[in-house]
Amino acid sequence: MSAASPSPIIERGTTTSRIAAIAVVIIIALLATAPQFLSAGAVDRMTALFIYVILAAMWNALAGFGGLVSVGQQVFFGLGAYFAIRLADAGLNPFASLFVSAVIVGIVSWPLSLFMLRLRNGEFAIGMWVIAALTHLLVNLDRLVQGETGTSLISLNVYDTGTRRTVIYWLALASMTALLAILFGLLRGSTGAAIRAIRDNEDAAASVGVRVTGTKRLLFVLAAFGIGIAGALWLATSITFQPKTYFNVQWTAYMIFMVLVGGIGTFEGAILGALVFFLIETWFGGTGVWYLVGLGATAVLFSLFLPRGLWGTIEERFGLHLLPVGYRVRFPGNPTTALDGDAPLPRQTTQHQEKA
């Protein structure tokens, strides 16, 4: 009689992930004190990095975890900046207007989701791009904006340059930290399991009681809110607002690039992808059109040879999970084989390896 097969081991947190969590807290604390030691230019660049992390994490949440691929997320980036301009012009403190504008973007995204989430796959992706283009045209009609001439967040000029730079840095760091924490907590709970179930098979998820529409709407609004904050913070760093810049599809292209390179559907991948994009931009951003050509070529190469991105490949080969949001099923005697709740399941797989 053959021996009974050993039971699989279900794990989430590991010693490595606990050490990583402590390291994250230390890194954030160090970043909070960084303006005292960094040059003005370095502070501005770090602020840009925090914004890139927000953009990558929000698009990854929507597409990587939720399966909602959009090429029109620049609509929320642009609206975040636009509403900040409008609120500041109405007399609200410019720093407060950055976050109030993001709240308004989140509110606006809710009725938008009522009909956009009826679309699937390519229809949803193109539909979001159409919404972004229409919104761009509507914003141009605002007399305050003056069409493509644009306007400025002039109320920030009452603060001296050093104070303004430091405050914006801290606001960007706090926003990035808060949004990543909210997303991490959401994905680790039952809602996160529902989100990934919908991504893997929407009909199957609905058949076992998952509230498909409500869950997708929650993710849609969260992504809009986060990208709205990113747009408002970018406005604060640049002061000027031109609709053609903020509603440009290049912002979504950057999001897609960061997520594809870092690892779509992995929490750490979006952060790593944002860092890679930041370094490429820092080193090669001054090369003009060749910089954009290089970004496109890099994205194509990763799609062909590293389809799971940098972090996805590291997870696959070494089983390393620093910030796990799903459960892993490990089989004794074959420690390299595991089904991980963070990554999309193969199309032919019908099992779902996570607990709601």
In the chain, the number of structural domains is 1
Q: Which of 185-199, 317-331, 334-348 has the highest mean pLDDT?
A: 185-199
CATH number of the domain that residue 167 is part of: 1.10.3470
List strands edge to edge, sheet with 9-11. 9-11, 328-331, 334-340
pLDDT greater at residue 138 or residue 295: 138
Does 2 map to a domain? Answer: no
The rounded distance, in Å, linking the Cα atoms of 174 and 180 is 10
**Is it the case that residue 199 has pLDDT exceeding 70?**
yes
In this structure, of 4-8, 112-116, 124-128, 142-146, the range with the lowest mean pLDDT score is 4-8
pLDDT of residue 83: 96
Answer whether residue 116 is part of any domain: yes
Confidence band (pLDDT; 50, 70, 90) for 45? very high
Contact 255, 61 (CB under 8 A): no
For residue 78, the model assigns a pLDDT of 96
**More confident position, 339 or 268:** 268
Percent of the chain surpassing pLDDT 70: 88
Check whether 29 has a pLDDT greater than 70.
yes
Asked if residue 347 belongs to a domain, the reply is no
- Amino acid 7: pLDDT: 67
pLDDT for 14:
72
Specify the pLDDT at position 184: 93
**Which of 34-43, 87-96, 160-169, 187-196 shows the lowest mean pLDDT across its residues?**
187-196
- pLDDT mean over 267-285: 91
Tell me what pLDDT residue 349 has: 38
When comparing pLDDT for 342 and 254, which is higher? Answer: 254
Interval 282-320: pLDDT, tens: 888 777 778 878 888 888 888 888 888 898 888 888 877
Domain that holds residue 202: 10-340
User: Is 3 inside a domain boundary?
Assistant: no
Per-residue pLDDT averaged across 66-77, rounded?
94
Q: Has residue 343 got a pLDDT over 80?
A: no
CA–CA dist 279, 85 (Å, integer)? 30
For the chain, the average pLDDT equals 86
Between these two residues, 234 and 152, which has the higher pLDDT value? 234
Q: Is the pTM of this model over 0.85?
A: yes
Whether 303 maps to a domain, the answer reads yes
Is 216 domain-assigned? yes
Confidence of residue 350 (pLDDT cuts 50, 70, 90): very low
Task: Answer whether 94's CB lies under 8 Å from 153's CB.
Answer: yes
| pLDDT attached to residue 299 | 83
Proportion of the chain above pLDDT 90, given as a percent: 55
- Highest mean pLDDT among 8-22, 84-98, 292-306 belongs to 84-98
- Assign 6 a pLDDT band (cuts: 50, 70, 90): low
What pLDDT score was predicted for residue 5? 58
208-258 per-position pLDDT tens digit: 888 888 999 999 999 999 999 999 999 999 989 999 999 999 999 999 999
In a domain, 4, yes or no: no
Q: Residue 332 pLDDT > 50, yes or no?
A: yes
Whether residue 345 lies inside any domain: the answer is no
CA distance linking residue 192 with residue 287, whole number of Å: 41
